[in-house]
Amino acid sequence: MASDDERFEELVAGIVAPLVLGGKLHLARPFGQAGTKLGEGRHIVDADLRSRIDVARVRRARLLAPVDTLPELDEHEWALAAALNDVLQVTNHELGGLFTKGRYMRLLRSVFELCGHVPPPRDVGAALARHATFARVMELNRADTSVRWWTGSASFRGVPPPKRLLMWQGLRRVHVETQRVPLHEMCDGLPSTVAEGYQAVLAVWLSRSPLTDLGSITRAAPAFAWSPATIALIAVPAGRMLAFRVLARQRAEHVSAALEKARAGLDGGLGAHRAVVEEFSREVVSAFEAMHAKPEKRAGSGTSSSPRT
Longest dimension (CA), the chain: 72
Residue 302: its pLDDT value, please?
Answer: 36
Residue 303: its pLDDT value, please?
Answer: 30
> Contact 26/13 with Cβ under 8 angstroms?
yes
Where b means 16+ CB within 10 Å and e means fewer, 112-129 reads eebbeebebbeebbbbbb
- Averaged over successive runs of 10 residues, the pLDDT of the chain (309 residues) comes to 92 98 95 94 96 98 97 97 96 67 90 96 98 97 91 86 89 91 92 94 97 97 96 96 96 95 85 91 92 56 32
Distance of CA 12 to the CA centre of its chain: 17
As a whole number, the mean pLDDT across the chain is: 90
Residue 246: its pLDDT value, please?
Answer: 97
Residue 308: its pLDDT value, please?
Answer: 34
| 8-42: pLDDT as tens digits | 999 999 999 999 999 999 999 999 999 999 999 99
Residue 100: its pLDDT value, please?
Answer: 57
| 214-231: pLDDT as tens digits | 999 999 999 999 999 999
Closest among 74, 10, 4, 6 to 34, alpha carbons compared: 4
This model's pTM is above 0.85: yes
